[in-house]
Each structure stands twice: as structure tokens, then as C-alpha cells.
Amino acid sequence: MSKSSVTSTKNYGLFHSNTKNRPVDVSKRRDLRESMTKYGYIPAYPIHCVRENSKLTVIDGQHRLAIAQELNLPVSYMVCDDADVNIPALAKTQRVWKCCDYAGSFAAQGKAAYQELIDFAVQHNLPLSTSLSILSDQGGSINATSHTARKYKNGEFVVKNRGQADRVARLYAAMSTYAPQIKTRFFIAALWAVCCVPGLDEERLVSGARRCPENLIKYGNRDAYLTMLEHIYNFGRTKKVPLKIEAENILSKRNPVKPKTEYHRGSNGAVRVYSELEAAENRAAKLNAQEARQ
């Protein structure tokens, strides 16, 4: 595909969309909008077009064009000779950046937190995404939150609690020695949660795993692993510790859940908002009324 030189313009009327391309939805390109707001339109990434009569049909870069127009930024573009191009095939060649790509790029730029992230993942033989969640002090959430992920991609990642991260990694390595099948992100999330419990005895937890490896079972959620960890922690002990409840209480304080509401439309068409408690009381009253009629 031969191309012309790069040209810049703010005459957005020159361009029109290509029906062969996917629909433009800038609401899903928050990352691109933030980048263009911060850096402007970078000429090194021009829009590719083909000339059709007096218009330029966009082959690649329609979202950049739409956001540039909203931000009133000049657009860089190139006119290609080949009009009969397979747009879906062209789009598939653009590989989306992965967690390791961001880490490698920002580490090479001298951002120490990203190099620390890479070193931590290698040292403990953990996936980079899991290490990101742990070092961000959000290991109990299983995955990094959207806010953390956005800051990570913007080069603003910071290590928040290295001591907690190292503790989780030590327990993960020690306990999975007796049952490699429990090496899951849910197990990591459960370990992170119990490590938040004041006074947790690491040796007691590892000792329990060593004494009853048959109880180290692979599960598909954090809650089940918390139950397992409590059982192992209390195995053969006279004094039982409600490890799961204490961990859940800490998690609920760190990540408070907003009260749920329900909306009901009355016979007159008016909409009333009920709190979760009110809604539960209403449902109970309806059930009691139904039972009374039977």
C-alpha cells in the first residue's frame, strides 16, 4: 500500500466514515481520550485514508479523528492509493498492549515502581497482573480495579504496601508446595485478605497446611478459599480463630458496599424508591398476605 506524506488539518469536513469499518463509539475509548487530552494529536500516528471524489474515506484511525474533533485538535493523515483494502484484516494486525508491555515500557523509561513490579513477579513466580493487584494493596479484589488499571497504563503506578505483598507471596509459595493445584488468583485473594487480620500467625497457617494437605483443595472463588484457610488455621487447635469473618469484616471496611435500592411503580404511575431494608419488609409482608389467603 503506497502512501503520501503526512498532512495536518483541522478541516474535519474533509473526512467521512467507511461503511466497512466498525461503528465509532468514543465512550469506550476513555484511555485514548485521556492520552489525546494530555499529549494532543501525535503526528507519528496519522489517520490512513483513501480519496473518493472530493472526500477522504477513513480506513484506520476513525476514533482518533472523532476525539480530535471533539477536542479541536489538528489531525495528521496520509492518503493511500489502495482503496480496496480489507479493513477487518488490517485491524486484526494491531495487537493490544498487555500488562507486560506497559511494565517493560515504563521500566525502560526509568520508572522504579514498574521495575520493582517486574522483579517482584519474577522473584515469586507470579503473573504480572496478580503482582500488580498485590503491590497496589488491592489483592483482596482478585483483579486490579479500573482506577488502578488506568493509573498503571498512564505510568502512575506506585507500590503501596511491599511488606504485605511479600507476606502474601511467602505464604503462597509455602502452602502451594503441599498442593500445587491451589495456585489460583482466588487463593491469592484469600491469602491477601487473611494477611490483613491483625495477629495472623504465618507459621501456624503453614503448619496447618503441612499437617492436613488433603484439605488444600482447588476452588473457584475467594469465599471458599477463606473457609479453607480458617479450617487449616484451626486444625488441631483448642483455641479457634474466626479467621474468615475477621478477614471479611476488614474487606467490607476497605471496600464498603453502597446500600441497595429498589424502584416500584404504584397504581397511579408514581415511582417510589425503597431502601434495601424497606424492600425486604415489603416482600415479607406480601408473602405473609399470600399465606393468609391460602
Give 193-253 as a DSSP string: HHHTSTT--HHHHHHHHHH-GGG----SSHHHHHHHHHHHHTTT-SS---HHHHHHHHHHH
Determine the Cα–Cα distance for residues 227 and 221; give it in Å rounded to an integer: 11
Determine the Cα–Cα distance for residues 175 and 216; give it in Å rounded to an integer: 9
The four Cα atoms 36, 42, 44, 45 give a dihedral, to 10 degrees, of 30
Give domain limits for the chain.
Answer: 7-92, 99-254, 261-293
- What is the model's pLDDT at position 95? 59
Mean pLDDT lowest among 2-11, 148-157, 181-190: 2-11
- φ, ψ at 263 (rounded to 5°): -115, 130
Q: Which pLDDT band, with edges at 50, 70 and 90, does 1 fall under?
A: very low
Query: For residue 8, what are the β-bridge partners?
Result: 76
Work out the average pLDDT over 42-68. Answer: 86
263: cell is: 424502584
Determine the Cα–Cα distance for residues 227 and 239; give it in Å rounded to an integer: 17
CATH of 7-92, one of 3.90.1530.10, 3.40.190.10, 3.40.50.300, 3.10.580.10: 3.90.1530.10
Higher-confidence residue of 107 and 16: namely 107
Determine the Cα–Cα distance for residues 248 and 193; give it in Å rounded to an integer: 7
Distance set, CA 284 to CA 95, 225, 259, 260, 271 (Å): 53, 33, 19, 17, 20
CB–CB of 220/237 below 8 Å?
no
Reported as a single tens digit per residue, the pLDDT across 253-289 is: 876 555 444 445 555 555 455 555 555 556 556 655 5
261: cell is: 435500592
Q: What integer best gives the mean pLDDT of the chain? A: 81
- What is the model's pLDDT at position 293? 57
